[in-house]
Amino acid sequence: MPGARRIGFFVLVAALLVFPFADRNNSHVDFLANAGAFILLALGLNIVVGFAGLLDLGYAAFFAIGSYSYAMLASQQFGLHVPFWLMLLVAPVIAAIFGVLLGAPTLRLRGDYLAIVTLGFGEIVPQTFLNLAQFTNGPNGISSLDQPSLFGRPFGFSATPYYYVLLGLIALGILIARNLQNSRLGRAWMAIREDELAARHMGINTTTTKLAAFALGASFSGLAGVAYAAKLDLVSPDQFQFNVSVLVLSMLVLGGMGNIWGVIVGSFILSFVNSFLLPQSTTLAHAAGFANVDFTNYRFMLYGVILVAMMLFRPEGLIPSRQRAAEFHEALTDAPVAAQEQAEYEGPPR
Amino acid sequence: MDVFLQQVVNGLSLGGIYALIALGYTMVYGIIELINFAHGDVYTLGTFFSLAILAGLGVNGVVHGPAGVAIVLVTLLAAMLLCGITGVLIERLAYRRLRNAPRLAPLITAIGVSFILENVMQLWRGPSPIAFPEVIANPSFALGGVDITAKQIAVIVLAVGLMAALQTFIYRTKLGKAMRATAQDRDAAQLMGIDVNTTIAATFLIGSALAGAAGFVSGVYYGTTWFFNGFEAGLKAFTAAVLGGIGNVAGAMLGGFSIGLIEAIATQYIPGGAQWTNVVVFSVLVLVLIFRPSGLLGESLPEKV
């Protein structure tokens, strides 16, 4: 890192560390903690979509699996009380196992079929949690989960401890993602993303490589699930619908698929828009006399517009990964070349 | 046995609607290899357009006689036309630019379009279910212990009729030939003087018009709709298209009826069946993709390099 950026980075880290003491407004810390859970989700999905180029449209399913594992293993539901810290190790493993179970039969499929199958999986999982009411309380979900505690001191109802947990998990996530990206596995993902057939011919075992992406992506989501469930003190099937998967995908597309910092910025922006900008502007509009306006209703429109507009005008995202940008633009600059070749070809020789 | 046959009848009429939607998926996938996620929402839009047209005509109950037939036909055709135009606009504005982009790009765009359409419909008619007027009388006929309603017959006849018309169009007209050529090899088709852009636009027009027909039919059949209706129906119809062999028109029809049957029979025979139907249908999708990705009627093609 160049000097100025390094200083900026340390200033940011220091600011994040002291934030809960500087800003005593618990709702701000609460917002940041929730945004943190989504940053973690985005980092995980980035491994699958950004690094390996596999479009997973059922990512919320793994989030659900992580959350429900905590809810079922650490609450009165079955009288099991696995400690929070242990669950941070167990839940990612459970989520990764489901990632492999889903991936093993389906990863042979072409990219767009995979997207549909993952979408189907994303529908099946919350539906199953909804239907198996004897284990999950159905639509009511599971509430009063165990409160995490550190050195015998429970977390309580403040968002601050969760904020630090998520900050730590994100730091860990960034570290893992960065190392993966520059590893042999990361290069294999890139090769598959650019040309699967060529990658296979270069001796890459495409199935296990893709499975690794699925499992690792799922495990991030499992981590986020545990932290989110513990913080919210409730899990219910409607928290994990398709729109959650699309929200996380929009974060990636907005920030820049394949770029860790881009993904973080993208998910922060969207969390901010969702939790602050839309509600606040609605309040402002009401104050200004427009009583019927509710900007929060436009949330899904916003995700849709982001997906379409970014893909059309800046597919590499706000903070692009250089590699990804090249891939997206290569195809677009190819087209005029082909057209030119066609124009130069003046029919068969007479 | 009667219960079983009754579910077969129910499944076939359900399947007629899925089949009509599946045709649009299969046509678009056949020609530009894109899963048009927004297609399910175009179908819901068909119901919404029908509602608006019926309201405009002042219809809120059963219509009779020649005037009644005219009203039903006008609503059906207008909904088809409006959906067709919507489909063409979507292709022109959102998909055409990305025709040569990496495949992820148009797929993500299609999801975005789907979200936009759903939100527009939600803003248009609100988030709650909307009642659809009881347009046609619905007498029930007993046939060997099985009850068939007039609406069920209408759904099946309309679906089969439209598919036959589509099949004729694709194999007997010049534009249909152009579509088949473009699906086979876009560059070669262009070199042979086919206007590829027009052909693809025509594909979207027809596919979306069929979804519009399905939208009208589902409004009449179920008597209710809501903005999110197309998400699940779209997924099931896509499953139908894959089951039949994507890109294959007759396959989409076969797949549609099969999915309808599977859904109706699963509802009847699996304990607590109604809440598991989605799980059953998606499991079918996964199994088909794993064991016979080319579908029932599709040819297995090597991946294009």
* Closest residue to B112, CB basis, from A124, A304, A331: A304
Token pair in block for residue A246? 């699309």
Task: Give the Cα separation of B212 and B47 in Å (integer).
Answer: 7
The nearest CA of chain B is from the CA of A187 a distance in Å of 19
Measured CA distances, A284 to A278, A287, A294 (Å): 10, 5, 10
In a domain, A349, yes or no: no
Contact call for B105 and A334, based on CB within 8 A: no
Which chain A residues are within 8 Å of B286, Cβ to Cβ? 105-106, 117, 120-121
Contact call for A307 and B242, based on CB within 8 A: no
| Residue whose C-alpha is closest to residue B6's, from B154, B159, B141, B136 | B141
The nearest CA of chain A is from the CA of B101 a distance in Å of 5
In a domain, A19, yes or no: no
* pLDDT reported for residue A349: 40
- Chain A residue with the nearest C-alpha to that of B117: A301
The nearest CA of chain B is from the CA of A305 a distance in Å of 6
* pLDDT reported for residue A350: 37
Residue-wise pLDDT for A296-330, tens only, equals 888 889 999 999 999 999 888 888 877 778 887 77
In a domain, A8, yes or no: no
Q: Quick one: DSSP state of residue A79?
A: S
Question: CB burial class (10 A; 0-12, 13-18, 19+) of residue A348?
Answer: exposed
| Residue whose C-alpha is closest to residue A42's, from A261, A312, A327 | A261
Token pair in block for residue B49? 């357009």
Q: If you write DSSP's letter for every residue of B18-34 in order, what string do you get?
A: HHHHHHHHHHHHHHH--
Which chain B residues are within 8 Å of A298, Cβ to Cβ? 119, 123
Per-residue pLDDT band at A185 (split at 50, 70, 90)? very high
B251 touches B298 (CB < 8 A): yes
Token pair in block for residue B199? 């052909």
* pLDDT reported for residue B61: 81
Task: State the ipTM, two decimals.
Answer: 0.89
CATH number of the domain bearing residue A51: 1.10.3470
* pLDDT reported for residue B196: 93
Which chain B residues are within 8 Å of A333, Cβ to Cβ? none
* pLDDT reported for residue A333: 54
Report, as an integer, the average pLDDT of A126-132.
88
A235 touches A71 (CB < 8 A): yes
Contact call for A115 and B35, based on CB within 8 A: yes
Which residue has better confidence, B88 or A350? Answer: B88
In a domain, A17, yes or no: no
Say if residue A184's pLDDT is above 50.
yes
Residue-wise pLDDT for A62-84, tens only, equals 999 999 999 999 888 887 888 88
pTM: 0.89
* pLDDT reported for residue B119: 92
pLDDT tens, residue order, chain B (305 aa): 678 888 899 899 999 999 999 999 999 998 888 999 999 999 999 999 999 999 999 888 888 888 888 999 999 999 999 999 999 999 999 999 998 888 889 999 999 999 999 999 998 998 899 999 988 888 888 877 788 898 999 999 999 999 999 999 999 999 999 999 999 889 999 999 999 999 999 999 999 999 999 999 999 999 999 998 898 899 899 999 989 988 888 899 999 999 999 999 888 888 776 778 888 888 888 888 878 878 888 765 544 44
Say if residue A153's pLDDT is above 80.
no
Mapping DSSP to helix (H, G, I), strand (E, B) and coil, where does residue A146 land? Answer: coil
Q: Quick one: DSSP state of residue A50?
A: I
Say if residue A342's pLDDT is above 70.
no
Q: How would you label B112-141 residue by residue, b for 16+ Cβ within 10 Å and e otherwise?
A: bbbbbbbbbbbeebeeeebebbebbeeeee
In a domain, A119, yes or no: yes
Contact call for B115 and A315, based on CB within 8 A: no
| Beta-bridge mates of residue A81 | A74
Say if residue A194's pLDDT is above 90.
no
Contact call for A327 and B242, based on CB within 8 A: no
Which chain B residues are within 8 Å of A110, Cβ to Cβ? 303
* Closest residue to B286, CB basis, from A117, A301, A304: A117
A271 touches A35 (CB < 8 A): yes
Tally of domains within chain A: 1
- Per the prediction, chain A carries an average pLDDT of 85
* Closest residue to A116, CB basis, from B35, B112, B279: B35
Contact call for A127 and B275, based on CB within 8 A: yes
Contact call for A304 and B116, based on CB within 8 A: yes
Say if residue A51's pLDDT is above 90.
yes
B286, B287, B290, best to mutate vs chain A, most A CBs in 10 Å: B286
* Closest residue to B98, CB basis, from A111, A304, A311: A311
Say if residue A58's pLDDT is above 70.
yes
| Beta-bridge mates of residue A154 | A149
In a domain, A347, yes or no: no
* Closest residue to B278, CB basis, from A105, A113, A123: A123
In a domain, A229, yes or no: yes
| Residue whose C-alpha is closest to residue B119's, from A301, A246, A305 | A301
Domains and CATH numbers, chain B: 2-291 (1.10.3470)
Contact call for A307 and B109, based on CB within 8 A: yes
* pLDDT reported for residue A292: 77
Domain assignment of residue A336, given as a range: 27-341
Residue-wise pLDDT for A205-244, tens only, equals 988 999 999 999 999 999 999 999 998 888 998 889 888 9
Residue-wise pLDDT for A244-271, tens only, equals 999 999 999 999 998 999 999 999 999 9
A123, A206, A292, A308, best to mutate vs chain B, most B CBs in 10 Å: A308
Contact call for A311 and B106, based on CB within 8 A: yes
* pLDDT reported for residue B259: 93
* pLDDT reported for residue A150: 82
Token pair in block for residue A214? 């699925």
* Closest residue to A335, CB basis, from B100, B106, B123: B100
- Chain A residue with the nearest C-alpha to that of B292: A109
Which chain B residues are within 8 Å of A305, Cβ to Cβ? 112, 116
